[in-house]
Amino acid sequence: MKKRVDSVFKNATIATLVSAVIFVAVFCFFALLPTSVCEANSALRYYEGRDASGVILTTKDSPVVVEKEDLTFDIQFDEHYLNGLQIGSVSAKYTFKNTSDAEAKTNVVFPIDFLSVINYQNNDDFSKYGVKVNEETVTSNLRYSYKIQGSTFSVEDDLEYLKDEIITDEFYTPETVVYKYVYACTAGDSFCKMYFGGIDARKVVCDNVYTSYWQNLDGAESIGFWVDKNEYIFYSIGEEIDFAERAEFFSDSERTSRVNGSFKLLSKQDITFGDLAYQYYDENYGVSKTDWYNAVYASLKEVYPKIALGYCFNVYRNLYCWFEYDMTFAPQETLVNEVVA
- Consecutive H or E run containing 273: helix 273-277
Strands 308-309 and 204-206: parallel
Interatomic CA distance for residues 26 and 63, integer angstroms: 74
AA identity, residue 302: E
pTM of the predicted structure, to 2 decimals? 0.77
Q: What is the pLDDT of residue 84?
A: 53
Contacts of 221 (CB under 8 A, 6+ apart): 196, 199, 201, 204, 213, 214, 215, 305, 306, 307
CA-based nearest residue to 118, from 85, 92, 142: 142
pLDDT by position in tens, the chain (length 341): 433 334 433 344 444 444 544 444 444 444 444 333 333 332 233 323 334 456 788 888 889 998 888 877 666 666 655 555 555 566 788 899 999 999 999 999 988 889 998 888 776 666 667 888 888 888 889 999 999 999 988 888 889 999 999 999 999 999 999 999 999 999 989 999 999 999 999 999 999 999 999 988 998 999 999 999 999 999 999 999 999 999 999 999 999 999 999 999 999 999 999 999 999 999 999 999 999 999 999 999 999 889 999 999 999 999 999 999 999 999 999 999 888 76
